[in-house]
Structure 1
Amino acid sequence: MFARYMTYDLHVIMKGADREYGEFFTGTRASEIQNQLPAGATMIPIILASDKTPVTRQMGSLEMHYVFMTIGNIQSNVRMQATSHAWRCITFIPTLEFEGHHDYKTILLARLFHHCLDEVVAPLKHAALHGMELTDAVGGMRLCYTPLVSYIVDLPEQQLIADMAMSTSPVTFAERSEFGRAEAAEPQMDKQTLMQLFELCQRVDPWDLDVFQKATKLLKLLGVHKQFWRNWKFAEPSLFLTREILHILHKFFFDHVLAWCKELVGAHTLDTHFKLLHRHIAVHHFSSGVSHTSQMTGQDHCDVERTIVPLLVGFAPDQFISPICAMVEFIYQVQDPVHTDSSIASMIQALRNFHAGKHVILELEARKAKSGPMTHFNIPKLELMQSFPRQTKANSVLIQFTADVMERLLIIHCKTVFPCTSRRSNFMEQTVDILNWEETI
């Protein structure tokens, strides 16, 4: 078993008669969009990514949403490397302090985000609707269309973009009490959301914040009446909000699965197992254990995942190890660089195996909160895993939409740029000038 989990990420799925999913253009979504374009038109799939991060150090708590863009025509193994310069920072969206009642802060910040992004992507929306003449690599003119096919963000920003309340899924009709279900919920389509808002705006003034916010809460919406994607042709939030491996899978494993193992086996015992693990090439050796670590890198998460199952054998019941093994299996299968219909079915089965055995985790009181043992699995990220198969078929393999490259871009464009400015009131203009100089060079 130990050897298996050390080499699981090197396995190759044999090619058969199934449809193969690799780059974005091999997914069903690309075919659906291309079939609706004029004959001879070229599709330029737009991929966005953003994250809210502090941009100042020792100068207050200023935060911004940095938005990056690339295109799906670039091969995934190229664009998912920060050193390939395949991404461009297209805007800084500020987070402001509004004067007024605190209850309106969330809705105003959400509307500000959508309004700013709406202004920035206006040319892309025009090209997605009417097309734009662009020059190709050999000098020919092409009629190009720019649909939004992926927006890489973590869960809070997914809810911000989808205009969904925090107690609901950003992409389905599932609510918090249904997050632990073993069945996938029905997707929340853009037409349904926009129709609800249109009917609400006919009855209530959107700028009467008190009344409008109360009405949107009843509909499980955030309160943005003009989403940036509302008039972007082919933009479907349940599809372009691609499920993100780093935050949904690896963070879920660290925050929950590893916590269950610590609770059942004991933090000291688990640390001892990691410390005594024989040093081996390509296997990280946690000389200080894992229980006292409050934050890990994505690579650290992968290193723990590949060794956690064999380290539990003999110290935890087989009924407990079974769902943990199924979740690790699911995490590894999602990251395959090539998928087929058969491998997607195997992925679905792995998640079903977890749900079939997860009750043992509750029975052993391994899932705990500060108030005591918990009796449910209403975890938002667990609900998002149900839509991984649908996303894989639509947009192809999800490993090409991971946020690892975005985390690196944030360092390059944010955390190293601000110290180069004079740190005065016009530091935003200085930051833009610095980034322009770097791109020119």
Structure 2
Amino acid sequence: MDTSLHKSPYSDGSLILCADCHRQFASYDLLVTHISLDHSHLYSALQGLSSQPGSDTKYLHPHAGFQFRGERLPNVFEAFESDKHAEERAFNPCYPFLNADELELARWLNERLTSTEIDEFLKLKWVRRHPPSFRSCLTLRSWIEELPSGPQWRTARIELKGYDMAPRQSPPLLIYRNGLECLQFLHANPIWAPYCSPEAWLVQTGEGQRVITEFNTSLLAWKLQSVLPIGAAVVPVQFGADKLTVTGNVGDLEMHPILMTLAAIPDTIRSKLSNQAWICVGYLPTPKFNVHADYNGILTNRILHEAMDIITESLKVAAKDGAIMADGYGRARLQGLNGVHKPWWRDYPFTDPSTFCVPDLLHSVYKFFWDHFLKACQIAVGAEELDRRFAARHKRIGYAALRRVSEVKQMTGRMYREIMRSVIVMIGGAVEPRFLRAMRAIIDFFLAAQSPRHTPYSLARMTTHLRVFHENKDAIMNAGGRGTLNHWQIPKLELLSNFVPAILSRGTLPQWSCDAVEHLLRTEAKKPFLKFTNRHRNDFGEQCARHLDRVEKMQLFELYALFKTHGVGLQHALPSATAVDDVEINEASSTGLARTWVLHALPDTVTGAEYCIRARRTSRNLFATGSLTMIDSKVAYHLTKRPAAMYTIDQVATTYNLADFHAALADYAQGFDLDRRGGAIRWSSPSQDVGFDFVNTWETYRIQMLSTHDDAVRLDPETLRAIPPNAKFPFGMCDAVLIDSLKPDGEVRQRSLIVQVRSVFEPVPRPDCVLPSHLCTPLIYVQDFAFADLDEKGHPCKTPDILMYRLQRRCYPDVRGISQRAGEVIPLYNVVRPVDISPVFGGRIMDTRLNELTSLELPYEFWLNDMWDTELHETLAVDYE
């Protein structure tokens, strides 16, 4: 067995070099601590400053980009005020269209219909009775072509002398835009102005540890800013490209679009495609030569490099000499261009493949897990047995059901994610301990790599996860997990050792993910090809470029006309960059930047101007609109105005099959919780009066939380269920949650914090009666779980190898001596977050009675799956030492 290629890199005695001061260290643990505390070039300018405990402190690089006083350049929208129709737009901002309504119609027709379909639409009788000012598609597109344009599209022929093209193949044609013009276009767009931050920043926690989030907080950004002339700004460019087949079920036509964005735009903004932070800069040739198949790829790569040389030629000149560009406010800045992601790199200053080729989470994590580690689990456990376990997982709203996983040929990234986060509890009991420990370590590493915020502690923890995997990976091979391969020589596994250095030098990895690029390949290539080109002609690439150009022109012109129609100047419409905080950045990312800009500039309009700006559907903000939100709380709740039903107290007990519901409610009404009763089952009688007779009940409720990584980030709401037993759900369908450790009176809760919500209700007061305050709020009846493993001090501890908390249902004997589940009534606002619990399967063969309806009802023991939720995983981070 040859595993020398992947021998643990943390125990072979090799030294790790610091890229900044060239000191050598024995481990990444020491390196990340050194970077955080000892770099003199980072801290020499910060002497006399200190962080405030409990909060992050930001320091701007002293050489960060300066503005040229008194000098101003036009931004992209102001071009409409200097073209040949500027005089007409002084009276009609929508010229050449009659008004905003016709402009909206023109944009819709241009984006959604082909030329033939537009002409057919304009010939409809109703349209002829209410005709727009343009009477044909030719007229419409000629008007659009006259609008001011963004970066111009160009073409260039690329030849390889001595090689003939394959039959029916045209010579390679590059359709592209000037790289520097695209960069200037993005940088001068006022939509990004309040949020774009090209300056290098040093961020520290209250304890003095360095924080790494976006690119501008990374070591590379600070280092590049230090070597550039004083006053120049670093403008990091991110490229993404991939080749795809654009024909449907037949044909072999391919396109290779290349896309560009600014890494200075926050990741939360540029990762949402509706914000349109990416721009298509070209279509690379996809030639086929009349040579042996082995040489076709070599020649294609030569064409690719020449094409990238043409696109980035102006960028390389600007990187050497700098370039004065306008930002979104029109202010002139001297820019130095560095930090490019995934382009061709020759003759590009300050760039190197080891610098700009950043690990991609989609392929380096999820696809890697699917191709190798899931296959190892299927071999070790058995594909059919593992499928049964996945199918028996408790189904939650918003998450896919994982049925017949081994038979699926193609999956979405989200399904990859859900399988990866649940596989540990699925293989528990069916594999030997070191196999389980290795799998736990590598998935811990994958989850930690997805964090949007890192400190030296979190990076050291990542290296420990990877070290533990290398120390135990032979158990996977011994169980046959590598199949016929008797080695670990996997390039993607070798790449994992570069994750920590990549985070240190380029910032967190989620911002470099290819998710956005994978989607844009369809919108920038496949959709235009299928809908807006004559695919029987060889110039379909040029047709796609013309379509994208028209769409871009109309998008810019519609925004310009909207502001001018309402008499708002473009400069006055922009919020100040200094006034925008992290909360507003995330709000704008959720709402859409264009719509946020319109709402800011036109706050008093009652015409619904922002609705003409199309954006993604925003997630609901329960902190603003929820039915239950506590002051300064990180959790918000929502119940529908109309409850599912109204029952008497005894009817609830019967309908929900909760024998002790009345007694538990009476205990809560008198303030007797489980801790105060000293562990006794009940103090109240099942027939005791509680001050009301009826309750309103809900079968679903919504919860929304703030991120544990950043309080400014509002997570998407989740819908949870508390459905009573019925024909569809014989045992009911109820989700598990984590509850607050602090009780309303400030005491610390001594019992379990993991509960299953069986009923959500609110008391209905009797006529002319006022209920106490603790009864005038939504309540929940919960059945809790006890921690099975305790240390010598009685504190919960994790089970070895699987490193999860093992839970047991808390039960008590009733008057007949039959074991019954114990229940409690607590306020809804005690719920902190939903959690995922899975049954302890306990052997190689799963109990055949278990399925998605019974997996939380029949078993006695469960795992608290902290890997299902990256937020909870961060909170319960595993320390292997």
Could you say whether these structures have the same fold, taking a TM-score greater than 0.5 normalized by the shorter chain as the test? yes
SS in 2 for 1:413: helix
| Structure with greater Cα Rg | 2
Query: How far does the alpha carbon of each residue in 1:287-343 deviate from its partner, in whole angstroms, 9 at most, with x for none?
Result: x23111122111111101111101111122122111111111001000000001111
Cα deviation, residue 277, structure 1: 1.2
Cα deviation, residue 119, structure 1: 0.1
Task: Quote the residue 2:385 is aligned against.
Answer: 269
User: How far, CA to CA, are the matches of 2:441 and 2:219 in structure 1?
Assistant: 28
Contact 1:67 1:91 in 2 (8 A): yes
2:319 alignment partner, one of 113, 118, 128: 128
The residue identity in structure 1 corresponding to 2:488 is F
Cα deviation, residue 57, structure 1: 2.6
Task: Quote the residue 1:410 is aligned against.
Answer: 521
Question: What does 1:15-414 align with in structure 2 at a 5 Å threshold?
Answer: 16-58=207-249, 60-151=251-342, 228-281=344-397, 283-286=399-402, 288-368=403-483, 373-414=484-525
User: How far, CA to CA, are the matches of 2:226 and 2:305 in structure 1?
Assistant: 29
Shift in CA distance, 20/119, structure 1 to aligned 2, threshold 3 Å:
same
Instruction: Pick which of 334-343 and 407-416 moved more.
Output: 407-416
Shift in CA distance, 329/111, structure 1 to aligned 2, threshold 3 Å:
same
Contact 2:244 2:256 in 1 (8 A): yes
Task: Quote the residue 2:804 is aligned against.
Answer: none
Shift in CA distance, 15/57, structure 1 to aligned 2, threshold 3 Å:
farther
The residue identity in structure 1 corresponding to 2:451 is D
User: How far, CA to CA, are the matches of 2:339 and 2:501 in structure 1?
Assistant: 17
Query: How far does the alpha carbon of each residue in 1:158-194 deviate from its partner, in whole angstroms, 9 at most, with x for none?
Result: xxx7xxxxxxxxxxxxxxxxxxxxxxxxxxxxxxxxx
User: How far, CA to CA, are the matches of 1:348 and 1:136 in structure 2?
Assistant: 40
1:424 alignment partner, one of 517, 526, 536: 536
User: How far, CA to CA, are the matches of 1:296 and 1:318 in structure 2?
Assistant: 30
User: How far, CA to CA, are the matches of 1:408 and 1:382 in structure 2?
Assistant: 26
User: How far, CA to CA, are the matches of 2:466 and 2:275 in structure 1?
Assistant: 35
User: How far, CA to CA, are the matches of 1:102 and 1:267 in structure 2?
Assistant: 37
Cα deviation, residue 70, structure 1: 0.4
User: How far, CA to CA, are the matches of 1:423 and 1:437 in structure 2?
Assistant: 19
Runs of 4+ in 1 over 4 A off after TM superposition: none
Contact 2:270 2:277 in 1 (8 A): yes
User: How far, CA to CA, are the matches of 2:295 and 2:385 in structure 1?
Assistant: 48
Q: Percent identity?
A: 34
User: How far, CA to CA, are the matches of 1:255 and 1:237 in structure 2?
Assistant: 25
SS in 2 for 1:358: helix
Task: Quote the residue 1:222 is aligned against.
Answer: none
Q: Which runs of 5+ in 2 are unaligned?
A: 1-204, 555-881
User: How far, CA to CA, are the matches of 1:284 and 1:41 in structure 2?
Assistant: 49
Contact 1:78 1:84 in 2 (8 A): yes
The residue identity in structure 2 corresponding to 1:285 is A
Contact 1:24 1:397 in 2 (8 A): yes
Query: How far does the alpha carbon of each residue in 1:357-384 deviate from its partner, in whole angstroms, 9 at most, with x for none?
Result: 100111111211xxxx321111111111
SS in 2 for 1:291: helix
Cα deviation, residue 15, structure 1: 6.5
SS in 1 for 2:241: strand
User: How far, CA to CA, are the matches of 2:261 and 2:313 in structure 1?
Assistant: 16
Q: RMSD of the TM alignment (CA)?
A: 1.5
User: How far, CA to CA, are the matches of 2:277 and 2:398 in structure 1?
Assistant: 29
Contact 2:240 2:517 in 1 (8 A): yes
Q: Which runs of 5+ in 1 are unaligned?
A: 1-13, 152-160, 162-227
SS in 2 for 1:70: strand
Instruction: Pick which of 275-284 and 421-430 moved more.
Output: 275-284
Query: How far does the alpha carbon of each residue in 1:193-224 deviate from its partner, in whole angstroms, 9 at most, with x for none?
Result: xxxxxxxxxxxxxxxxxxxxxxxxxxxxxxxx
Query: How far does the alpha carbon of each residue in 1:100-128 deviate from its partner, in whole angstroms, 9 at most, with x for none?
Result: 34443222111100100110111111111
In the superposition, the TM-score normalised over structure 2's length comes to: 0.39
The residue identity in structure 1 corresponding to 2:393 is L
Instruction: Pick which of 385-394 and 311-320 moved more.
Output: 311-320
Contact 1:125 1:147 in 2 (8 A): no
The residue identity in structure 1 corresponding to 2:224 is I
User: How far, CA to CA, are the matches of 1:16 and 1:272 in structure 2?
Assistant: 48
1:433 alignment partner, one of 534, 538, 546: 546
Higher strand content, 1 or 2: 2
Cα deviation, residue 139, structure 1: 2.7
SS in 2 for 1:150: coil
Contact 2:339 2:355 in 1 (8 A): no
SS in 2 for 1:374: coil
